Amino acid sequence: MNTTMEDRAVDTQALGKVAVLMGGRSAEREVSLMSGHGVLAALRSKGVDAHAFDPAERDLTELRREGFQRCFIALHGRFGEDGTVQGALELLGIPYTGPGVMASSVAMDKLMTKRIWVAEGLPTPAWRQVRSAAQTLEAFKALGSPMIVKPVREGSTIGLTKVTDASQCEAAYALAARLDPMVMCEQFIAGDEVTCPVLGTGDQARALPVIRIVAPDGNYDYQNKYFTDDTQYIVPCGLPDGEEAHIQALVLKAYQTLDGRGWSRADVMIDARTRKPYLLELNTSPGMTGHSLVPMSAKAAGLSYEDLCVRLLASAALDNPA
């Protein structure tokens, strides 16, 4: 698949007054602020009339009163990536970046995402929804060791535990349940960890280069994602012949199945023994920090951080335009 990004001139003046939504009320607020300030600086460097807007500190109705014409959503997690802000912007009639209400809501719910992918014949690790520590122990017996326990509607590996012994099940469930009453257990796939962004909508959507992630001790947690330089991001990914194109095609189908729009990023594990890829989740408002993966992949495809931000902003849309 050809992932080289063609140069598309955008009239930044025509984009109007832009709000970069950042911060918010989720557990990923700190990362969102980092993303948002990066996007804000990039847009301003391209001549966009862009302004910071934190929904945790200001009412969204101020967007209309202050004459904002479109929004770049740099919010992560709940109250920003889950369809709630998207729905509010639909009511306000202000176009926004990223997928629409339904796609955002579904992708935030890892259980619902898996159910749809399985119905469409797409590979994803086996899982169980659990409502107690006892059910977590039963899931461990069924899924085997190691097993991942995580909140259904959180991101950035927040609240996630890799369980290798039955004695860990109770604490793993308690940690996840503190963040979300919906908890899931997932089969752990040992092998290469990769991620692949998608830009565009419908038949025009294209997968960007795959990035292979090599984290210290294989632990790609919150700290290693955002606050250390020890994690290696390898692009070109160096996978065996044909694997990158196969993963790109798989991710593109996963994105289109959930009715993706604008952009997203899918996380994938490749079984070391069979080389079969398994879809983990789709992020509909990916990070845009200095450690983030979409800008890294876009750069490998010939698209700078600043041009990526402008291109995403230009794709802002509504589910139901007037």
Active site residues: 28, 156, 226, 265, 267, 281, 283, 287
Of all helices (H) and strands (E), which one includes residue 65?
Answer: helix 62-65
Longest CA pairwise span in the chain (Å): 59
- For residue 185, what is the enclosing H or E element? strand 183-187
CA angle at 59 for the pair 54 and 61, rounded to the nearest 5°: 120
CB-count exposure of residue 91 (10 Å: 0-12, 13-18, 19+): exposed
d(CA 209, CA 251) in angstroms, rounded, equals 11
DSSP bridge pairs for 49: 17
In this structure, what token pair is assigned to residue 44?
């301003």
- Residue 6's CB: how many other CB atoms inside 10 A? 8
SS3 200: coil
| One-letter identity of residue 255 | Y
How wide is the angle at C-alpha 305 spanned by C-alphas 248 and 50, nearest 5°? 125
